[in-house]
């Protein structure tokens, strides 16, 4: 939201208060509070009729400094609030002289906030002796607009060549400089500035991140209100934000996800191919069986079958009752599918249609969101007479979970938690939450309630969602998918940008509808989308009004599906490591180039390719003819598909057939590849082959490969032309395959092998 007319003037009707004179600094044990008047104070009389702005500093953990800007402090403080994982670190409060000027400082780990106590308002955030960003004389503002609404604003400086990323799943340019972004969940598809997953966090390649701790609408102006500043504002009388130290983008994400929550572990079976009935298509058990048989007959590995909306009766969503006319024996059908080794997913949402048997029950028990007059809030969008489950009511949450538990008892394994964005702001919540703050936060309660049920019923590490909406902290409940995209190359590219933006917002796992959702892709779009989808963390065939089985397009689509599904299954030892890192460190499986190569200016703006884990570069092909430009960072990279080598840093133009894609292995990589390519859930260490790529002299690394309930570790060390590999906990035979060299088989029980390059 903009408040100024150019740099000097305010918009008509807007008034502003800003800190001009530090009246007093109060140092607590681990807090620093600054009282600043809105004009210089030279006499006692100047304090009369003079507003104060209170700015307080604290730290929830090492390397993170929180700032709260307040005008009036008498508000009700209604929730909800983001749940932050605090771990009190070593906080130091000092009041030294800096270059002859008095300052007050709060230090947390490597990060320090320095507040000038004389002269113009100035706060510098400093790490390792370098100023990361600053709040300057005209940055903080307490504003009132022409309609009498109150806002608090902060502006943090941007440096020359600095790039800003994140703010949730956004489908425009990966770099957010020059963009206006409102954090407000909406069901707007992937082709607009609206987003399903809005996260008030941005990451800067200057070595820091900023998290605005406000669940309501936060308006960001990234170099748009003032070109040299990133602005964020909220309606009300206070604003809290955190500066998160790096120095690298990975360090920022580690700290940010430690604060807001790390992704849960996902089960191995979820990495396999998911096949859906699609949305409005006609299907019954015979149709489903035909699809499953077709995949098996064509040797296409399938892991999960998904039933979309019409597994329930029309106008009854959601009642969690199988349509008896279409599925007369749901438990038997699910049992038959599970006998074939499949997992089952079903579509749900938090909305209760008036015809649903749950509507009257929810109304009677007070489990549905209410209007101020006490009646049930309803509208006709999506479902006739639709109401909304009130997840701020613990009894309503338990009631909703109880309905889903019945499906788990039938054999369902996971849920596609659709919607959660269309949340009204003129309602009353059970716990008294502020409706504006609840709009974005509702999805967090919705997804958490379903995820918690799966953890309770299936156990940690077995719970997984396919969720559409989210906000800060939602990364704890994976997996999220990109929503309703069109079936075009342009939409394929915008979907990738959304996933990369989400990755830089703390989300570790992400997927999208292969071939696009809206409409039916032509065969070229579908075949180009397949490698992209199957080289994502999670892979799903799903559409709106047409099936997405590969043979519906052409036989080549079947071959492409087989090639890349089997490739992904063979990469499970590597992907499982990437998933472990996402869970333990908060680093995404699919990574923008800037995350892996922050010192490479050529990588800063690249949003048409990504790193799958830390070692595989994937560049989807966005054209029927197969032309693609790939940015290759420094070093000699090797094509995993052909063995061809290319040296960077430079852009490379290539042309690929439908059965190929630029897929390069980073130099210095030990890539574990599995012995089987038919399913994702197995002992990944049994029969694993370690592929060595361009290992430099002096290389040392450890690969952790899941094995049963534990893991096998492989320590690789190069000294001159000799390479030694030491195995710990390997359950059977394994192998080493040097780049361009002979594959060396290692018998079971052998703990170490040496080879010459």
Kindly report, residue by residue over 157-173, the tens digit of the pLDDT: 999 999 999 999 999 99
Regarding beta strands 663-665 and 616-618, do their DSSP bridges make them parallel or antiparallel, or are they unpaired?
antiparallel
Q: Which residues pair with residue 414 across a beta bridge?
A: 345
Q: At what angle do helices 523-534 and 489-503 cross, to 10 degrees?
A: 20
- Of 70, 112, 421, 462, which one is the catalytic site residue? 421
Percentage of the chain beyond pLDDT 90 is: 95
pLDDT of residue 87: 87
Superfamily of domain 12-72+86-260: glycosyl hydrolase (family 31) (2.60.40.1760)
Question: Which element (helix H / strand E) includes 530?
Answer: helix 523-534
Per the CB < 8 A criterion, the answer to whether 222 and 211 are in contact is no
The full set of domain ranges for the chain reads 12-72+86-260, 268-350+392-585, 597-665, 683-756
Residue with tokens 């719970």: 463
pLDDT tens digits for range 134-149: 999 999 999 999 999 9
pLDDT of residue 98: 59
**Sequence-ordered strand ranges (E) for 189-228:** 198-204, 208-212, 218-222
Mean of pLDDT values over 676-696:
96
**pLDDT above 90 (res 719):** yes
| Distance from C-alpha of 156 to C-alpha of 710, rounded to nearest angstrom | 46
DSSP string, 441-462: HHHHHHHHHHHHHHHHHH-TTT
pLDDT of residue 166: 98
pLDDT tens digits for range 49-103: 999 999 999 999 999 999 999 999 999 989 999 999 998 777 898 877 656 678 9
Is 554 labeled as catalytic in the residue annotation?
A: no
Q: Is 360 helix (H, G, I), strand (E, B) or coil?
A: helix
Q: At what angle do helices 330-338 and 285-297 cross, to 10 degrees?
A: 10
| Distance from C-alpha of 587 to C-alpha of 579, rounded to nearest angstrom | 9
Tally the residues of the chain: 757
- Of 225, 251, 268, 418, which one is the catalytic site residue? 418
Instruction: Tell me which of 1.20.58.760, 2.60.420.10, 2.40.33.10, 3.40.140.10 is the CATH number of domain 683-756.
Output: 2.60.420.10
| Distance from C-alpha of 2 to C-alpha of 227, rounded to nearest angstrom | 12
Residues 6+ positions from 395 with CB-CB distance below 8 Å: 365, 367
What is the CATH architecture of 597-665? Sandwich (2.60)
Per-residue b/e over 294-316, b at no fewer than 16 CB within 10 Å? bbeeeebbbbbbbbbbbbbbeeb
Do the domains 683-756 and 597-665 match in fold?
A: no
- Compute, in degrees rounded to 10, the torsion defined by CA atoms 503, 505, 510, 515: -80
Residue with tokens 């500093």: 57
| Arithmetic mean of pLDDT over the chain | 96
| Distance from C-alpha of 323 to C-alpha of 305, rounded to nearest angstrom | 18
Confidence band, pLDDT 50/70/90 cuts, at residue 378: very high
- Report residue 343 as tokens: 């997992």
Q: At what angle do helices 394-410 and 435-458 cross, to 10 degrees?
A: 40
> Quick one: DSSP state of residue 377?
P
| Distance from C-alpha of 686 to C-alpha of 458, rounded to nearest angstrom | 26
**Sequence-ordered strand ranges (E) for 613-699:** 616-618, 627-639, 645-655, 663-665, 669-673, 689-693
CATH of region 268-350+392-585: 3.20.20.80
Q: Is 706 helix (H, G, I), strand (E, B) or coil?
A: strand
- Of 484, 494, 683, 686, which one is the catalytic site residue? 484
Per the CB < 8 A criterion, the answer to whether 93 and 27 are in contact is yes
**Sequence-ordered strand ranges (E) for 29-82:** 32-37, 52-61, 64-70
pLDDT of residue 99: 60
Is 484 labeled as catalytic in the residue annotation?
A: yes
Of 79-83, 295-299, 547-551, 709-713, which gets the smallest average pLDDT? 709-713
pLDDT tens digits for range 252-309: 999 999 999 999 999 999 999 999 999 999 999 999 999 999 999 999 999 999 999 9
């Amino acid at each position: 939201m903009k408040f100024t007319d150019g740099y000097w003037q305010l918009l008509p009707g807007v008034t502003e208060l800003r800190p001009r004179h530090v009246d007093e600094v109060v140092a607590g044990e681990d807090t620093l509070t600054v009282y600043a008047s809105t004009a210089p104070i030279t006499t006692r009389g100047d304090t009369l009729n003079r507003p104060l702005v209170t700015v307080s500093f604290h730290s929830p953990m090492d390397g993170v400094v929180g700032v709260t800007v307040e005008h009036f402090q008498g508000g009700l403080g209604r929730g909800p609030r983001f749940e932050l994982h605090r771990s009190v670190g070593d906080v130091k409060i000092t009041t030294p002289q800096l270059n002859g000027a008095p300052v007050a400082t709060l230090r947390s780990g490597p990060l320090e906030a320095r507040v000038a106590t004389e002269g113009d308002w100035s706060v510098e955030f400093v790490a390792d002796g370098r100023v990361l960003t600053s709040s300057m004389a005209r940055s903080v503002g307490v504003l009132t607009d022409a309609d009498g609404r109150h806002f608090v604003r902060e502006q943090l400086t941007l440096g020359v060549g600095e790039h800003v990323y994140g703010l949730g799943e956004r489908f425009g340019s990966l770099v957010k400089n020059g963009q206006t972004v409102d954090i407000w969940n909406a069901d707007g598809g992937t082709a607009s500035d609206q987003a399903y997953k809005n996260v008030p966090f941005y990451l800067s390649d200057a070595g820091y991140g900023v998290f605005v701790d406000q669940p309501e609408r936060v308006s960001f102006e990234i170099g748009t209100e003032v070109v040299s500043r990133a602005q964020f504002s909220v309606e009300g009388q206070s604003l809290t934000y955190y500066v998160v130290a790096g120095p690298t983008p990975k360090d920022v994400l580690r700290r940010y996800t430690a604060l807001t929550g790390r992704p849960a572990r996902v089960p191995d079976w979820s990495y396999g191919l998911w096949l859906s009935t699609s949305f409005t298509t006609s299907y019954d058990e015979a149709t489903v069986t035909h699809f499953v048989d077709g995949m098996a007959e064509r040797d296409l590995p399938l892991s999960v079958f998904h039933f979309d909306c019409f597994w329930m009766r029309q106008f009854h969503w959601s009642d969690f009752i199988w349509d008896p006319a279409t599925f007369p024996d749901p438990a038997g059908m699910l049992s038959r599918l599970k006998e074939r080794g499949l997992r089952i997913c079903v579509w749900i949402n938090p909305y209760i249609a008036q015809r649903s048997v749950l509507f009257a029950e929810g109304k009677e028990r007070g489990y549905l969101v209410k209007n101020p007059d006490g009646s049930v809030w309803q509208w006709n969008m999506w479902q006739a007479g639709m109401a909304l489950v009130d997840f701020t009511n613990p009894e309503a949450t338990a009631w909703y979970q109880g309905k889903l538990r019945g499906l788990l008892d039938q054999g369902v394994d996971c849920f596609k938690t659709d919607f959660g964005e269309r949340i009204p702001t003129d309602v009353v919540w059970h716990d008294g939450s502020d409706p504006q703050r609840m709009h974005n936060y509702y999805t967090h309660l919705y997804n958490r309630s379903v995820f918690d049920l799966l953890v309770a019923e299936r156990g940690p590490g077995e719970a997984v969602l396919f969720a559409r909406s989210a906000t800060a902290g939602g990364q704890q409940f994976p997996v999220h998918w990109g929503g309703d995209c069109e079936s075009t190359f342009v939409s394929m590219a915008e979907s990738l940008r959304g996933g990369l933006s989400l990755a830089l917002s703390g989300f570790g796992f992400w997927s999208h509808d292969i071939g696009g959702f809206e409409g039916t892709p032509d065969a070229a779009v579908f075949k180009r989308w397949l490698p992209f989808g199957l080289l994502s963390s999670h892979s799903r065939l799903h559409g709106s009004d047409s099936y997405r089985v590969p043979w519906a397009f052409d036989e080549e689509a079947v071959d492409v599906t087989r090639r890349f599904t089997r490739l992904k299954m063979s990469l499970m030892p590597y992907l499982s490591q990437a998933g472990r890192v996402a869970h333990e460190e908060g680093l995404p499986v699919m990574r923008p180039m800037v995350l892996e190569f922050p010192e490479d200016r050529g990588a800063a703006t690249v949003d048409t390719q990504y790193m799958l884990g830390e070692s595989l570069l994937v560049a989807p092909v966005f054209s029927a003819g197969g032309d693609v430009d790939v940015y290759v960072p420094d070093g000699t990279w090797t094509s995993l598909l052909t063995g061809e080598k290319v040296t960077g840093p430079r852009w490379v133009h290539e042309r690929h057939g439908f059965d190929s894609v630029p897929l390069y292995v980073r130099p210095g990589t030990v890539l574990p590849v599995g012995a089987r390519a038919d399913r994702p859930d197995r002992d990944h260490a049994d029969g694993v082959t370690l592929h060595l790529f361009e290992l430099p002299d002096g290389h040392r690394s450890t690969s952790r490969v899941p094995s049963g309930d534990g893991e096998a570790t492989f320590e690789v060390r190069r000294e001159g032309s000799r390479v030694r590999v030491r195995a710990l906990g390997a359950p059977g035979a394994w192998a080493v395959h040097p780049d361009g060299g002979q594959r060396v088989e290692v018998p079971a029980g052998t703990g170490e092998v040496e080879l010459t390059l």
